[in-house]
Amino acid sequence: MENFITHIGVDESGKGDFFGPLVIAGVLVDEKSAKLFAELGIKDSKKITDKKILTLEPVIKEHAPHSVIAISNGKYNELYANIKNLNKLLAWGHARTIENILEKHECTYAISDKFGNDHFIQDALMKKGREIKLDQMVRGESDIAVAAASVLARAAFVHKIADMQCQYGINFPKGCAAQVKDCAGEFISKYGKDRLKEVCKTHFKTYNEV
């Protein structure tokens, strides 16, 4: 990979899912790991099956420094109630992920998938993070580090959904399609509406429609 610059890639999973957490992941990729990840076919997690993602997850973790932040539904709803802006909440998660990696590893460059005004993440970064050059790219998953981060974020989301299914005995669908309402109704019939906030994002319209 000619002129490759070691950098951190950051991406999220769960933003558009009614059920489950919001997960932000970051991966620090150098030339060697970038080549390996490209050979393994690592790309935007939306273009890979969940089964494949779970096989790639340990490989990425073994070969690259990383940070994964999973914001549970309870914490997510608490943060959203205070911040009232999804982009600011995403920026907080992206910034913390970058900071976590920088605590143990030197890096001067980071790329994230663009989701709002550029200043959101910059404003959320603390002292060490503000020293880094940060590019926010449309379709950032085309970058190998961002793609690797998207895989780790999705893997963590899939694991959490599986944990929730075991805990509550309900098969939680991904996304926010029609079957989500049916599942929410099933949850309410078993546990009551008050507990729905334990497993979902309450600012979604779906919450008030069930």
**163-204, pLDDT tens digit by residue?**
999 999 999 998 767 789 999 999 999 999 999 999 999 999
pLDDT band at 2 (very low <50, low <70, confident <90, very high): low
Does the structure show a pLDDT above 90 at 209?
A: no
Rg value, the chain, Cα: 17
Please state the rounded mean pLDDT for residues 68-82. Answer: 95
Instruction: Tell me how far apart the alpha carbons of residues 17 and 126 are, in angstroms, rounded to a whole number.
Output: 29
- Among 46-50, 65-69, 204-208, the range with the most confident prediction by mean pLDDT is 65-69
Q: Are 128 and 105 in contact (CB under 8 A)?
A: no
For 88-142, what is each residue's pLDDT tens digit? 899 889 999 999 999 999 999 999 987 776 677 777 776 666 778 888 877 767 8
Supply the range of the domain harboring residue 128. 7-168
Determine, yes or no, domain membership for 104. Answer: yes
Determine, yes or no, domain membership for 74. Answer: yes
Instruction: Tell me how far apart the alpha carbons of residues 123 and 127 are, in angstroms, rounded to a whole number.
Output: 11
Does 12 belong to an annotated binding site?
A: yes
Instruction: Tell me how far apart the alpha carbons of residues 5 and 107 are, in angstroms, rounded to a whole number.
Output: 10
Determine, yes or no, domain membership for 205. Answer: no
Task: Identify the bridge partners of residue 71 per DSSP, sorted by sequence position.
Answer: 22
Does 30 belong to an annotated binding site?
A: no
Does 11 belong to an annotated binding site?
A: yes
Determine, yes or no, domain membership for 90. Answer: yes
Q: Are 153 and 25 in contact (CB under 8 A)?
A: yes
Determine, yes or no, domain membership for 184. Answer: no
Q: What is the mean pLDDT of the chain?
A: 90
Residue-level pLDDT at 131? 77
Determine, yes or no, domain membership for 2. Answer: no
Determine, yes or no, domain membership for 206. Answer: no
Interior CA angle at 139 toward 175 and 46, to 5°?
Answer: 35
- CATH number (domain holding residue 69): 3.30.420.10
Determine, yes or no, domain membership for 153. Answer: yes
Enumerate long-range contacts of 82-87, CB under 8 Å, 24 or more apart.
86/15, 86/203, 87/115, 87/116, 87/117, 87/120
Interaxial angle between packed helices 86-102 and 73-83, expressed in degrees from 0 to 180 and rounded to the nearest 10: 120
Total domains in the chain come to 1
Please state the rounded mean pLDDT for residues 62-89. Answer: 93
